[in-house]
Chains A and B, each alone.
Chain A
Amino acid sequence: MNTKILSKGLAARAGILAGGVALGALLVGSALAEPALIYDAAGKNDKSFNEMAWNGAEMYAAANNLPYSDLEIQTDAQREQALRRFARSGASPIVVPGFTWAEPVSVVAQEFPDTNFAIIDAVVDLPNVRSVLFKEQEGSYLVGALAALKSETGTIGFVTAFDFPLLQAFGCGYVQGAKAANADIEVLQNFIGTGFEAFGDINTAGEIGRSQVERGADVIFAAAGGAGEGALQAAADAGVYGIGVDSNQNYLFPGNMLTSMVKRVDIAVLNAFQDELDGNFTAGVQVLGLAEGGVSAAMDEFNAPLITPEMQAVLDDFIAKINSGEIVVHDYRSDNSCPVS
């Protein structure tokens, strides 16, 4: 009984306090609320995930002619420290790309309930945190369809780091797309290693790429971070096609890169910054799929000669059907299994 009353009283006081702080933040907020971006360990210029995030911030700066702050951390210990420093200086929203940020964000976001945070690729369930996820399976479906259409041998490959739900979602989408474009296609699937160290093991990835080529694969989708380049290199060396991941990697081996499964991290960053500026920042989980422009199969001058009009037509058809809901791409993470293999 007593405790109940006490806790009620505390809650009320906390509410008043929070209101006061919010008012204070409002008064000074407009002058200080500069958005901030803190990169993941790989750093700003990783030609991939983090660089995409940076591009998003640059898009915001160019569109609004407004500044933003950013920071590259040097060690894991700096994560919480950096978040606190930005929060204390009044930055909002603070955007962090990468699931390794989940723990620090959940700690610091509670300390600064009036600062908005956004995390990409992970879910932090707090009232001031926006969690942005991508429908990797939809983008993978599209590149899978392209791979199946391009393949002359009837065999395509998928190389990923290790058995992990997020990575399996790439593979599962890829197989679904490939089977939709060509029901008889055979998909070879390989894991590089058994843990996070596999993301760096270029050599094993290359060896796997070679083995897939030797087993008849003529298009290989490498969803394995930095190690993926090993498999793409193997494909290029053998004169077959590779498919990149996360950022547009078509430029890596021109003529041998069929496409890339792009995760628009830049859009996620831009949206978070812009929403705060426009005053409609929302917390909660945001899932960016094909319809939201969150994932796509990259098309540019490097792979234009490889995509025939017929392939483009099929691709457009699949995009329309996914957007209209006629095709629902199964998400491996929803039940930890894949209907096709």
Chain B
Amino acid sequence: MNFFSDIILMLDSSVRLAVPILLAALAGLYSERSGIVDIGLEGKMLGAAFAAAAVAAVTGSPWLGLLAAIAVSSFMAMIHAIASINMRGNQIISGVALNFLALGATVFVGHSWFKRGGSTPNLSTEARFSPIELPFAEQLGGIPIVGEIYEQLISGHNLIVYVAFLAVPVTAWVLFRTRFGLRLRAVGENPKALDTAGISVTRLRYQALIIGGILCGLAGAYLSTGQGASFSDNMTAGRGFIALAALIFAKWKPVPVLWTCLLFGVLSAAQIRLQGVEFPLIGEVPVQAIQALPYILTVILLAGFIGRSVAPKAVGQPYIKER
């Protein structure tokens, strides 16, 4: 029984670790399905994390923080849109520039604002997204296994976690069951066909990038006002790039994105618990090997079993209307 509750706690931790990557990967999904490479996920998330923490610290409201996060992240997405859609610039360069912009600007603005070396003040409980207890969680908690899973694993996360998991079926539905989704998939494969049909490629790609901006905003707000309680220099620590990798492994499909992110979450949570543990026969494994585990296993599991992953055909190519 003790072992079982340990597993539940670890899965609980996996969920929390997977959420920012999941949101960012979905953001990348919209963008790349529309034909725009989105290497700036990391930067958008970082900018959003800062905006959320700073505004929540000043106003005391996580909601205003979330709005600010979405605004900043969408604004950055629009810079990317102008550079790569209107100016037809190189999308990788624009994305990398956004990452550097966020890295420098957050610390610079943060330091001149709060005088704490780029960090924001610690948020009080009211200024954070606090855990939501789902109905009957306590009563059902008494039931073995099913009740415990409900009480400890499903209940007790903050709002953004539920939004993130809800975003997966919604994205799947939008992508494969709506007219917008059909067009979005088409614009990433063959923008010319869409243009011939009289649909604006530019408009569709802008819509995709705005959705991506909103999702990155949620991811950033989650990091600094949901899971954490302040912003600090480079707090995304590479999550945007992991999200990009997850997107590629998942072949740009929403439900596989969820599984990839959860797998990464489970492996990261396991990694934390396995540090310094004595294994039977092997003894203590060097901590670096344990820390590399999520990355190594992700590559083995996914590269070994997923097979070829083909990107949307028009991704990375600016669309030029023929005259």
B237 touching A197 by the CB < 8 A rule?
yes
Q: Is the CB of B237 within 8 A of A204?
A: yes
Neighbouring B residues of A42 by C-beta, 8 Å: 117-118
Which B residues from 212 to 231 make CB contacts under 8 A with A? 223, 227-230
Stretch at the interface among A110-118, A135-143, A222-230: A222-230
Residues in chain B near residue A210, CB distance under 8 A? 13
A252–B122 CB distance below 8 A: yes
Assuming the contacts A207-B269, A233-B228, asked whether A47 and B116 have C-beta atoms less than 8 A apart, the reply is yes
Contacts A207-B17, A207-B269, A211-B273 known; A163 to B288 CB distance under 8 Å?
A: yes
B317 within 8 A of A: no
Q: Does the CB pair A206–B227 fall under 8 Å? A: yes
Most buried by A among B10, B122, B238: B122
B122 and A202: CB pair below 8 A? Answer: no
Separation of A204 and B21 alpha carbons in the complex (Å): 13
Docked-complex contact A190 and B272, CB < 8 angstroms: yes
Contact of A200 with B272 at beta-carbon distance under 8 Å, contacts A43-B111, A210-B13, A229-B122 already known: no
Q: Closest A residue to B286 by CB, please name it.
A: A163
Chain B residues whose CB sits within 8 angstroms of the CB of A214 once the complex forms: 9, 13
> For the complex, is B276 an interface residue (Cβ under 8 Å from A)?
yes
In the complex, are the beta carbons of B235 and A191 less than 8 A apart?
Answer: no
* B interface residue count range (under 10 / 10 to 19 / 20 to 34 / 35 or more): 20 to 34
Taking a contact as CB atoms under 8 Å apart, the answer to whether B272 and A230 are in contact is: no
Q: Is the CB–CB distance between B16 and A207 below 8 Å?
A: yes
- Give a binary string over A36-50; 1 marks a CB under 8 Å from any B CB, 0 the rest: 000001111111101
- Chain B residues, CB < 8 A from A323: none
In the complex, chain A residues whose CB is within 8 Å of the CB of B275: 189-191
What residues on B are CB-neighbors of A255 within 8 Å? none
Whether B232 and A200, one on each chain, are in contact in the complex, defined by CB atoms closer than 8 angstroms, is yes
Q: Is B115 an interface residue (CB 8 A)?
A: yes
The winner among B20, B117, B237, B272 for most chain A CB atoms within 10 A is: B117
Q: How far is the CA of A229 from the CA of B231 in the complex (A)?
A: 10
> Is A203 a contact partner of B235 (Cβ separation < 8 A)?
yes
Interface residues of B in 272-308 (CB under 8 A from A): 272-273, 275-276, 287-288, 291-292
* A336 within 8 A of partner (CB): no
- How many whole Å from A50's CB to the nearest CB in chain B? 7
Point out the residue from B116, B122, B238 that lies within 8 Å of A197, measured CB to CB: B238
- Cβ–Cβ < 8 Å partners of A191 in chain B: 275, 287, 291
Return the chain B residue nearest A253 by Cβ.
B122
**Given A200-B234, A229-B122, A43 and B117 touching (CB < 8 A)?**
yes
Q: In the bound complex, how far is the Cα of B10 from the Cα of A208, in angstroms?
A: 11
* Interface residue? B189 (CB, 8 A): no
Over the window 92-121 of chain B, the binary record of Cβ atoms lying under 8 Å from chain A Cβ atoms (1 yes, 0 no) is 000000000000000000010001111100
- Considering only CB atoms and an 8 Å cut-off, how many residues of chain A contact the other chain? 37
Q: Per-residue 0/1 for A191-206: is the Cβ within 8 Å of any B Cβ (1 yes, 0 no)?
A: 1011001101111101
Query: Does B233 have its Cβ within 8 Å of any Cβ on chain A?
Result: yes
- Do B276 and A197 have beta carbons less than 8 Å apart? no
Which residues on the B side are within 8 Å of A13 (C-beta)? none
CB-CB under 8 A from B228, the residues of chain A are 202-203, 206, 230, 233
Is the beta-carbon distance between A211 and B272 smaller than 8 angstroms? yes
Which residue, B232, B238, B275, has most C-beta atoms of chain A within 10 A? B232
CB neighbours of B10 from chain A (8 A)? 211
Closest to B234 in A: A200
Residues on the B chain within 8 Å of A45, using CB: 115-117
Give Cα A44–Cα B117 distance, bound, in whole angstroms: 8
A188, A207, A229 interface centre (most CB from chain B within 10 Å):
A207
Interface residues of A in 154-172 (CB under 8 A from B): 163
- Tell me the minimal C-beta distance from A84 to chain B in angstroms: 24
**Distance from B98 Cβ to chain A, minimum over Cβ atoms (Å):** 18
Which residues 27-70 in A have Cβ within 8 Å of B in the complex?
A: 41-48, 50
Q: How far is the CA of A201 from the CA of B16 in the complex (A)?
A: 14
* Distance (whole angstroms) from the CB of B132 to the closest CB of chain A: 15
Q: Contacts A194-B288, A198-B237 known; A46 to B227 CB distance under 8 Å?
A: no
Question: A321 at the A/B interface (Cβ < 8 Å)?
Answer: no
Residue A215 at the chain B interface, CB threshold 8 Å: yes
Assess whether B237 is in contact with A193, with CB atoms less than 8 Å apart. yes
Complex Cα gap A202–B273 (Å): 18
Whether the Cβ atoms of B230 and A202 lie closer than 8 Å is yes
- Which chain B residue shows the least CB distance to A44? B115
Within 8 A of A (CB), among B226-251: 227-230, 232-235, 237-238
| B118 contacts across to A, CB distance below 8 A | 42-43
A208 close to B122 (CB less than 8 A) = no
Which residues of chain A have C-beta atoms less than 8 A from B268's C-beta?
204
Contact A201 B233 (CB under 8 A): no
Q: How far is the CA of A310 from the CA of B223 in the complex (A)?
A: 41
Q: How far, in Å, is B38 (CB) from chain A's closest CB?
A: 21
Are B235 and A201 in contact, CB atoms less than 8 angstroms apart? Answer: yes
Q: Which of B223, B227, B232, B288 contacts A229 (CB 8 A)?
A: B232
Is the CB–CB distance between A163 and B238 below 8 Å? no
> How far apart are the CA atoms of A313 and B288 in the complex, in Å?
39
- Mask, B43-76, CB within 8 Å of A = 1, is 0000000000000000000000000000000000
B17 partner residues in chain A, CB cutoff 8 A: 204, 207
Distance A190 CA – B272 CA, assembled complex (angstroms): 7
In the complex, A201→B224 CA distance in Å?
11
Q: How far is the CA of A193 from the CA of B287 in the complex (A)?
A: 10
Q: Are B122 and A46 in contact (CB under 8 A)?
A: no
A179 to chain B, nearest CB (A): 16
Which residues of A does B touch, CB under 8 Å? 41-48, 50, 163, 188-191, 193-194, 197-198, 200-204, 206-208, 210-211, 214-215, 226-227, 229-230, 233, 252, 341
Interface residues of B (CB under 8 A from A): 9-10, 13, 16-17, 20, 111, 115-119, 122, 223, 227-230, 232-235, 237-238, 268-269, 272-273, 275-276, 287-288, 291-292
Q: Which 5 A-B pairs have the closest CB atoms?
A: A42-B117, A46-B117, A45-B115, A201-B237, A226-B232
